[in-house]
Structure 1
């Protein structure tokens, strides 16, 4: 039986970062990946594919230039599913090549196969060719990620009724689409296909969406979606989904409304991919959604030498935070010191338009009874925004009236996921409104919106003295 210092199950963001971190500390590491290639959900069906699809759709559709040339403008008149897939395959090949090189450079061993517990320190791996390998490790990191939730009442067929993993393999772009689920994944794909001029209807039983995002940002986002004729049926549930003889799909909602569409994307949640791990043999138990509970500081499970990181532990389920979770878990697992990460991290939603946020929302500030003021800048107020033809986009900052410190930054619009890092740095370094007022920003840039929003807040705050 092979012995390892750390056995990592899954090679997504958490798994690969954890494995490489342990290897850099001189430990013997094995990564087990059940997919055809390393990279996990993030590389093959999640983060990288959806963002590549988004970028390809925006480029080929001419979306970014429509502010100048009108809504009918297109770079490529007839866009096919193959056009989208061609760029995706190139991107995925590059990601896998980089990851395999990282493993080789850091002497991380990896094999393909399905792993399951024999006991809390031993796992059995069934390789693709049927060979069974048994390995043991001082510590184990579970970074198995998630898979789409597929309820029995949805007639999935991989062609007209699909989950988010299957969407990447469609043969042709639909003229109309219904997306069930107004979570991050559903919203991202709904807006991407809307940018390709597919008529999109978004359905969710909740009457609100993205409740963890600042309400003013969500309101602006919803306005932009409705302005381009996306239908948002919030507070309504799809009771029945039925494939029709003519190849279309009919949905019946709980209020009796019926919708006929070319394609249905079911994106109402994901499940932790833990069902094949035989968790009971290790003394572990997952929740109803297949997720594992961990110590939020060390990512240790109920069994001290077994750790879990990434989407399998739940919110925030971001590739960026998963990487940090994997790194911290690996350091703790091999006995190294692990510093707690900064309090605030950026959350990015790669919809069209993008949303990104860091820190407290206005609703959270109110709940904490913190005296505050907001500063707002609209991208159309910046010269760069005008040059780019932007008539939408909003940057909002929230400041404490007592300390004048930045409490939160929230952005909706072009480049939001890039711009947010300026606010993130100031937030974690406990900067104040004066930073934005007194510093120079490149001109013309969208980042100049920070200056505009800072001045807006500063003017409203008046001569209120800081208690720093």
Structure 2
């Protein structure tokens, strides 16, 4: 951060702003940029010494960079030509994350320039809300800075939920933040919690040859996904060697110097080299001084907001993981922008909806719109168009033949109602369908009548559209 915009904390500093944003992750950045570009005098308070929030430092960027490294290694192993060059070598996650740290620094530098160009003042320290118009900022040395403001945005993000019964100081007990510092080799790991993060790490660990026990507290994986896509993920993980245990709950965990033993309420005992706890996240609201303004977070530290991202206190807004669902970096940025737009008085600001789901398992999952279950329950007459990646020339060339694209569309109007994709680059492919769904001429005919480059993965849309239209009568 250039010195002109970075404010040092001193006991005599006192400044007034139109708005103060707490947190510099995607939601905080989205709000700060919108407010600054609307002519407001804005400050942002970040707990870390570097900007970017959890997303850049322990969340989206490092975990996806790790996934990319592992995915590249899997592809290397799969190619018969390269298999002749050497055997698989053991490595630690810390070694695999070397490239991720470079990406983090690049992201920090890029986003720091955004704040500087938009004249947003940056304070590094712990924020404390003294009242609805006063923020104290404390440094590690305890020095206080006072910020007076008309409006506040809480975008402090979230952290892994840590139940009281687990000792996360033990070197073999991890959460999704701590796992990034794993610096010793393991052969088997227990992953407790089969949500998005748990499934992503299950595919990463099994991708590098580790045995994985995935403990799911629910009856099936990622139940909000289309059934066919969720089933495909379950099948593929099992095919890779992941042991998925559904409807299980922890009883207690034993820790030893060289292993852990997980005791489940069903009576099962599972021994492994380490355990990764991925069962939920908590909003970063403790210690913010919310009691001083009458705001009370829920049991997971999350704040309630209306469709303007406004809390119960009229001049305090919140966005991102701290408000709960969907807890995605992409949505958080847009939520922050929407909050900023409402704060400056823009009219007809739509809340963030129709969010594409991106799950970075190996391979990826992405979807937008309704599932088959939802359409069936709503009694909407729909039809299905499918394209399997194993039939596409581009997938055959790259070797990424696992996966499918599924289009759900109205039988009579041909309007696209949902798109679901499982396979390599699914999170990129989904946006082609998203653009068509949100256009005034939303119709599956677009894909049947449009020429696609050949060979490409985008061709899956044409194949799926023709497949679906052939089902009509």
TM bucket normalised to smaller:
over 0.9
CA distance in 1 between partners of 2:394 and 2:195 (Å): 31
Q: Shift in Å at residue 286 of structure 1?
A: 0.5
Unaligned runs of 5+ in 2: 1-13
CA distance in 1 between partners of 2:453 and 2:447 (Å): 12
Q: Shift in Å at residue 25 of structure 1?
A: 1.3
Alpha carbons of 1:205 and 1:351: their partners in 2 closer, same or farther (altered >3 Å)? same
Alpha carbons of 1:409 and 1:173: their partners in 2 closer, same or farther (altered >3 Å)? farther
1:120–1:283: 8 Å Cα contact kept in structure 2? no
Q: Of 113, 116, 122, which aligns to 2:128?
A: 116
TM value normalised by structure 2: 0.94
1:6–1:138: 8 Å Cα contact kept in structure 2? yes
SS at match of 2:39: coil
Q: Of 241, 261, 265, which aligns to 1:250?
A: 261
Aligned to 1:400: 410
SS at match of 1:227: helix
- The reply on whether 1:320 has 2:333 as its aligned counterpart is no
- The reply on whether 1:384 has 2:397 as its aligned counterpart is no
- The reply on whether 1:32 has 2:45 as its aligned counterpart is yes
SS at match of 1:118: strand
Alpha carbons of 1:41 and 1:311: their partners in 2 closer, same or farther (altered >3 Å)? same
Q: Of 205, 220, 228, which aligns to 1:208?
A: 220
1:343–1:428: 8 Å Cα contact kept in structure 2? no
- CA RMSD of superposed structures (Å): 1.8
1:55-454 superposed matches below 5 A: 55-59=68-72, 61-63=73-75, 66=78, 77-157=89-169, 159-245=171-257, 247-296=258-307, 298-337=308-347, 339-340=349-350, 343-429=353-439, 430-454=441-465
Q: Shift in Å at residue 459 of structure 1?
A: 0.2
Please say which of residues 119-128 and 64-73 is displaced more in the overlay: 64-73
Aligned to 1:21: 34
Q: Shift in Å at residue 260 of structure 1?
A: 0.8
CA distance in 1 between partners of 2:336 and 2:31 (Å): 4
Q: Shift in Å at residue 172 of structure 1?
A: 2.2
Aligned to 1:465: none
1:318-353 Cα offsets, whole Å, 9 max, x none, are: 101100000010121122346326752211001111
Q: Shift in Å at residue 85 of structure 1?
A: 2.4
Please say which of residues 320-329 and 190-199 is displaced more in the overlay: 190-199
Q: Shift in Å at residue 67 of structure 1?
A: 6.4
Please say which of residues 424-433 and 180-189 is displaced more in the overlay: 424-433
CA distance in 2 between partners of 1:338 and 1:128 (Å): 42
Unaligned runs of 5+ in 1: 463-468
CA distance in 2 between partners of 1:400 and 1:82 (Å): 48
SS at match of 2:62: helix
Q: Shift in Å at residue 403 of structure 1?
A: 1.1
2:74–2:207: 8 Å Cα contact kept in structure 1? no
CA distance in 1 between partners of 2:417 and 2:425 (Å): 21
1:38–1:100: 8 Å Cα contact kept in structure 2? yes
SS at match of 1:242: strand
CA distance in 1 between partners of 2:90 and 2:81 (Å): 18
1:63–1:195: 8 Å Cα contact kept in structure 2? no
CA distance in 2 between partners of 1:335 and 1:6 (Å): 13
Q: Shift in Å at residue 73 of structure 1?
A: 8.9
Q: Shift in Å at residue 69 of structure 1?
A: 6.2
1:1-12 superposed matches below 5 A: 1-12=14-25
1:5–1:334: 8 Å Cα contact kept in structure 2? no
